[in-house]
């Protein structure tokens, strides 16, 4: 249960305001930038922080647009500016790519310029004529992107399988997967063969910089892209929100720098597997994390960002650290713990009962069962049960330095953590198109994470508190 921070305490301290659109984009970002706190103004924000390679800390606010489109992007960005006045804005998510030899599915495009095709006139016998708006990104963004090719060592292994969190999806270059006129299909097939042909060595995502086109429509029409490229030849990706964020960022008092970071989930003219959407979400989020680690800008208040990060780590890790933390910020009422545990148990049972036997093996189901059994091991369940009634708390925890409400808060956070992991785990289990090998890999990985977490929690709880 993350603490809630008053908006007035955090305004003017946010270094980066991160905007996502889709739920999968939001989850991918949160996977790299954990939720340390919440705040609320015109909309609700997740507060996170990141330690840079220089040892100081940037503070982040993360928000999700409830719907797609230029208008939603503009509203959310404007509200964020009014509420928090972040130093920079970052738009993280997916986009469609134009066939290219330089980049392909899963790669990341960072915008140097916006081409806004949101305004046009549909004229009899002449079709749609566009009034192309937009312009270059803020000079500070262009300055950063200018040296991006020299930052490989600082960015590290952001694009390997471990950082992305999944393997590169398969691609099938059968004729039925291509669409468009003859020339477009030929060019699309040729570029994809250069990236995915039989003799091409598989690689992780790479990052490029270039122009992004934006409109209020989801564009999967090759004729539309061809028309747009008559007035903007260098378009490399197309999406739906940057135009709105760009308008919101151009204030009378100042222009807010925007980093538009888009993973390529589609190539216009090609029907790919849905897994590429997930992969592109993770590639964009992974690159964003690696880039911010390099200390893109000087923190406004590094000490405050570190405090936010440390307080939440104290909530999750050790009861000893609670001695200097305000209990009221983290407490889940003791009578709600039973309900939280029941919800977690229900999710675990659902994950097992709904595991589809048709696309995996009995061994995989055994792994699911082992995970659930481990979660609800008798020893762990006794720990939860002992806190359902405050009188049952062991005497060594009845200390002036560590009160019972604080212990309730600690357990509630541990249970909430387990719930989040079960939900992620269940999503993996229920994906009918997931390959058996990948499913087993993810399940084993999750078992290892849960096992370490539970052992650490039990060790903290049963240790002596001086």
For 430, residues 6+ apart whose C-beta sits below 8 A from its C-beta are: 351, 354, 355, 356
Mean pLDDT for 338-365 is 48
pLDDT for 133 = 83
Q: What span, in angstroms and rounded, lies between the C-alpha atoms of 262 and 96?
A: 9
Q: What span, in angstroms and rounded, lies between the C-alpha atoms of 206 and 263?
A: 10
Write down the H helix ranges in 264-357.
275-293, 302-316, 337-353
Give CA separation, 71 vs 214, 231, 240, 248, 394, in Å.
12, 24, 9, 10, 55
Dmax of the chain from CA atoms? 85
pLDDT digits (tens, 9 = 90+) for 221-230: 898 888 888 8
Q: What span, in angstroms and rounded, lies between the C-alpha atoms of 430 and 439?
A: 10
Minimum mean pLDDT range among 341-345, 397-401, 407-411: 397-401
Nearest CA among 19, 53, 48 for reference residue 34: 48
Q: Return the residue matching tokens 């270094």.
A: 15
Residue-range domain boundaries for the chain: 7-303, 322-462
**Helix (H), strand (E) at residue 89:** strand 88-97
pLDDT for 131 = 63
pLDDT for 262 = 98
pLDDT for 356 = 43
Q: What are phi and psi of 81, to 5 degrees?
A: -65, -45
**Helix (H), strand (E) at residue 182:** helix 182-196
As given in the structure block, the two tokens for residue 464 are 């002596």
Q: Are 93 and 25 in contact (CB under 8 A)?
A: yes
Please state the separation of Cα 7 from the chain's center in Å: 23
Mean pLDDT for 405-432 is 49
Q: Are 110 and 261 in contact (CB under 8 A)?
A: yes
Mean pLDDT for 299-319 is 67
Q: Are 222 and 53 in contact (CB under 8 A)?
A: no
pLDDT for 215 = 87
Three-class HEC string of 91-157: EEEEEEECCCCCCCCCCEEEEEEEEECCCEEEECCCEEEECCEEEECCHHHHHHHHCHHHCHHHHCC
Q: What span, in angstroms and rounded, lies between the C-alpha atoms of 140 and 297?
A: 10
pLDDT digits (tens, 9 = 90+) for 427-436: 555 554 444 4
Q: What are phi and psi of 103, to 5 degrees?
A: -150, 170
Averaged confidence pLDDT in the chain: 76
Using the predicted structure, report yes or no on whether residue 396 has a pLDDT greater than 80: no
Mean pLDDT for 379-408 is 40
pLDDT for 313 = 44
Q: Return the residue matching tokens 């993973």.
A: 263
**Helix (H), strand (E) at residue 413:** helix 404-430
Minimum mean pLDDT range among 64-78, 148-162, 212-226, 341-355: 341-355
Mean pLDDT for 456-460 is 51
As given in the structure block, the two tokens for residue 378 are 């008798």
Give CA separation, 307 vs 129, 287, 330, in Å.
53, 25, 15
For 253, residues 6+ apart whose C-beta sits below 8 A from its C-beta are: none
* pLDDT band for position 119 (cuts 50, 70, 90): low
Stronger pLDDT, 121 or 237, i.e. the higher one: 237
Using the predicted structure, report yes or no on whether residue 335 has a pLDDT greater than 70: no
Give CA separation, 455 vs 314, 414, 419, 463, in Å.
17, 12, 17, 12
User: What percentage of the chain carries pLDDT values higher than 70?
Assistant: 64
Q: Are 93 and 21 in contact (CB under 8 A)?
A: yes
pLDDT digits (tens, 9 = 90+) for 51-99: 999 999 999 999 999 888 888 999 999 999 999 999 999 999 999 999 9
Give CA separation, 57 vs 30, 46, 409, in Å.
17, 16, 26
Nearest CA among 128, 164, 157, 146 for reference residue 209: 146
Global pTM reads 0.68
Q: Are 412 and 340 in contact (CB under 8 A)?
A: yes
Mean pLDDT for 293-304 is 94
CATH superfamily of 7-303: Nucleoside phosphorylase domain (3.40.50.1580)
Nearest CA among 409, 418, 352, 346 for reference residue 380: 418
Q: What span, in angstroms and rounded, lies between the C-alpha atoms of 130 and 119?
A: 6
pLDDT digits (tens, 9 = 90+) for 239-266: 989 999 999 999 888 999 999 999 999 9
Nearest CA among 180, 172, 219 for reference residue 197: 172
pLDDT for 223 = 84
Cβ burial, residue 92 (10 Å; 0-12/13-18/19+): buried
Q: Which residues face 390 on adjacent strands?
A: none
Q: Is the dihedral of CA 311, 315, 317, 322 positive or negative?
A: positive
**DSSP 3-state of 240:** coil
As given in the structure block, the two tokens for residue 97 are 């790519």
pLDDT digits (tens, 9 = 90+) for 161-196: 989 988 899 899 999 999 999 999 999 999 999 999
Q: What span, in angstroms and rounded, lies between the C-alpha atoms of 392 and 27?
A: 38
Q: Which residues face 279 on adjacent strands?
A: none
pLDDT for 230 = 82
Stronger pLDDT, 276 or 450, i.e. the higher one: 276
């Amino acid at each position: 249960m993350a603490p809630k921070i008053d908006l007035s305490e955090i305004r003017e301290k946010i270094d980066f305001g991160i905007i996502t659109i889709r739920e999968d984009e939001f989850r991918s970002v949160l996977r790299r930038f954990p939720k340390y706190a919440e705040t609320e103004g015109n909309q609700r924000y997740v507060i996170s922080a990141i330690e840079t390679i220089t040892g100081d800390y940037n503070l982040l606010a993360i928000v999700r647009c409830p719907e797609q489109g230029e208008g939603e992007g503009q509203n959310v960005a404007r509200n964020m500016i009014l509420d928090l006045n972040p130093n920079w804005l970052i738009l993280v998510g997916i986009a469609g790519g134009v066939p290219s030899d330089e980049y392909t599915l899963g790669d990341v495009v960072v915008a140097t310029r916006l081409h806004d095709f949101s305004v046009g006139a549909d004229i009899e016998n002449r079709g749609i004529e566009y009034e192309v708006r937009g312009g270059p990104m803020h000079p500070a963004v262009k300055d950063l992107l200018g040296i991006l090719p020299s930052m490989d060592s600082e960015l590290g292994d952001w694009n390997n399988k471990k950082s992305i969190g999944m393997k590169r999806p398969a691609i099938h270059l059968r004729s039925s997967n291509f669409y468009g006129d003859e020339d477009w299909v030929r060019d699309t097939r040729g570029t994809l063969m250069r990236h995915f042909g039989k003799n091409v060595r598989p690689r992780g995502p790479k990052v490029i910089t270039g122009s992004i086109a934006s409109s209020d429509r989801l564009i999967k029409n090759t004729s539309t892209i061809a028309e747009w490229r008559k007035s903007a030849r260098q378009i490399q990706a197309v999406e739906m929100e940057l135009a709105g964020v760009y308008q919101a960022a151009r204030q009378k008092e100042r222009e807010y720098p925007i980093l538009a970071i888009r993973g390529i989930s589609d190539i216009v003219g090609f029907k790919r597997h849905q897994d590429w959407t997930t992969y592109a979400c993770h590639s964009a989020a992974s690159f964003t994390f690696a880039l911010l680690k390099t200390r893109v800008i000087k923190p406004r208040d590094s000490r405050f960002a570190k405090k936010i990060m440390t307080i939440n780590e104290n909530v999750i890790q050790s009861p000893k650290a609670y001695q200097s933390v305000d209990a009221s910020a983290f407490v889940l009422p003791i009578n709600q713990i039973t309900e939280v545990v029941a919800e977690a148990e229900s999710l675990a049972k659902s994950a097992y009962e709904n595991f589809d036997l048709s696309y995996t093996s009995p061994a995989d189901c055994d792994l699911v069962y082992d995970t659930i059994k481990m979660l609800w091991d008798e020893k762990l369940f006794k720990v939860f049960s002992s806190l359902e009634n405050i009188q049952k708390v062991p005497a060594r925890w009845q200390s002036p330095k560590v009160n019972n409400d604080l212990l309730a808060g600690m357990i509630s956070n541990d249970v909430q953590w387990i719930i989040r992991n079960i939900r992620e785990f269940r999503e993996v289990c229920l994906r009918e198109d997931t390959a058996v090998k990948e499913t087993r890999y993810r399940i084993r990985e999750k078992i290892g994470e849960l096992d370490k977490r539970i052992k650490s929690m039990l060790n903290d709880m049963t240790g002596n508190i001086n």
